Amino acid sequence: MFFLHKSLAWRLRAVRFSARLYAVHFLYKELFEMSFAENFRAARKEHKLTQKQIAEVLNIDRSAIAHYEMETALPNAKNIPKICEILEIPIEKLFL
């Protein structure tokens, strides 16, 4: 029968736990970004605003807005209240 040294067995358990934690984080993050992107785009279109118009108010590049809608980035925390104000929606609706 094969026995692992205690420190090696502990390391293997830690690696397995880290892998599971990373997978859960990845899935949660993906769902979070999808929801934000869809809600952001829908609210922007509902107000008949262009990406450029929102970018000018936030003082950022238009490509950043495109990244928000393509689910490849999230806005800085300081811009989230401004986005909610521009789109006239509560923060909960933007992220849920």
Q: What is the mean pLDDT of each run of 10 residues along the chain (96 residues)?
A: 52 53 52 73 95 96 94 87 92 82
* pTM of the full structure: 0.63
d(Cα 17, Cα 23) in Å, to the nearest integer? 10
- Sorted by where each starts, the structural domains of the chain and their CATH numbers stand as 30-95 (1.10.260.40)
Cβ contact 67:75 at 8 Å: no
Q: What's the confidence (pLDDT) of residue 6?
A: 55
d(Cα 79, Cα 96) in Å, to the nearest integer? 18
Cβ contact 58:76 at 8 Å: no
Q: What's the confidence (pLDDT) of residue 86?
A: 95
Cβ contact 87:93 at 8 Å: no
Q: Which residue, 54, 50, 59, is CA-closest to 83? A: 54
Q: What's the confidence (pLDDT) of residue 27?
A: 56
Q: What's the confidence (pLDDT) of residue 87?
A: 95
Q: What's the confidence (pLDDT) of residue 5?
A: 54
